Amino acid sequence: MTLGDLLRRAVGRLSKVRAVSPERQRAAAWRAAFEAGLLNVPQDVRDPRAWDNFWRNQIEFGGDQGLADMMASDATLPELLTRRGSQTILCAGNGLSDEALSLALLGFQVTALDISAVPAQVFAFMFRSPDHPVHRIPGFRIGNDNTVTVACDGPIDPELCPPMHRSADQAPKGGGALAFVTGDLIDPDVCPGPFDVVIERRTVQLFPQHEHTTALHRLSERLAERGVFVSQEHQGGWRPGEPRTHHAEAWLKSRGFVLESEAKGDQRDSAPRLAYLMFTSG
């Protein structure tokens, strides 16, 4: 079965009315896949084929990407990046997240990097579908290389855009672009930058503990001299009131990054190197 067949099958399941509700069918399929280990993150996080299988299973059985995007959504982040004059963004390990598209529709020049080729294929399939909402955005174009550009001059209807990072103060607009790259973030020749912003969400933490420093070093190398490093750590077992420290905090501070949470005065906007660290749980 090709990826296109898989996507059409998944979309078809959502549109058909059956005796058993689609929601119940999806829940049962997801539970069976989860119990079989089909939705587990690959043990070797640098194995592209294992990630291909992971994302195909997420598409087939339904994953938590929508929930993950909702939990990571932060309307203040695009405003901060705009104030700092940031333009270019690398979303490392973007997977099937809508974040890269959301940022492109907010006017940024975005590169979505993933070790699996499946996410890029999925987005290209969706964006080439004439029924996708992006085709109602003035100036939306997708090139032969699947690079997306948004050439309109004015504001974009927010309802045509993903909800991630949506804010009344930061309306979607033209001028953004989105490119997809398949490669290993550890390879310095892949998306070498420099980028004004590097975002990694729940990616570095998947590496073996002894490789965390290497992954952080490779990502920070891609930053421009004046850059923002965004890192999200998911601690599923954390409960309010318990202490927690972001896995990248000490390393970033030792490299001269100012933590956004500790910034004083205008440091959030003026610090040459800013680390924007966040947690999710549950």
Domains and CATH numbers, the chain: 3-63 (no CATH), 68-280 (3.40.50.150)
Q: Cα–Cα distance between 177 and 103 in angstroms, integer?
A: 9
Q: Which H, E and C letters describe the chain, residue by residue? A: CCHHHHHHHHHHHHHCCCCCCHHHHHHHHHHHHHHCCCCCCCCCCCCHHHHHHHHHHHHHHCCCHHHHHHHHCCCHHHHHHHHCCCCEEEEECCCCCCHHHHHHCCCCEEEEEECCCHHHHHHHHHHCCCCCHHHHCCCEEECCCCCEEECCCCECCHHHCCCCCCECCECCECCCEEEEEECCCCCCCCCCCCEEEEEEECCHHHCCHHHHHHHHHHHHHCEEEEEEEEEEEECCCCCCCCCCCCCCHHHHHHCCCEEHHHCCCCHHHHCCEEEEEEEECC
Cβ atoms of 257 and 229 closer than 8 Å = yes
Residue 107 has a pLDDT of: 95
Q: What is residue 14's predicted lDDT score, i.e. its pLDDT?
A: 39
Give the pLDDT score at 29.
83
pLDDT of residue 120: 98
**Would you state the pLDDT for residue 63?**
77
Mean pLDDT by 10 residues, the chain (282 residues): 58 46 78 85 97 95 88 95 97 98 97 98 96 94 96 91 91 95 98 98 96 98 98 93 95 98 96 97 86
pLDDT reported for residue 123 = 97
Query: How far, in Å, are 44, 159, 271 from residue 228 at the CA level?
Result: 28, 28, 9
User: Going by C-beta distance under 8 Å and a sequence separation of 6 or more, which residues neighbour residue 263?
Assistant: 271, 274
pTM for the whole thing? 0.91
Lookup: tokens for 151: 């050439």
| Distance from chain centroid for Cα 117 | 15
Q: Which residues contact 249 (CB under 8 A, 6 or more apart)?
A: 259, 275, 277
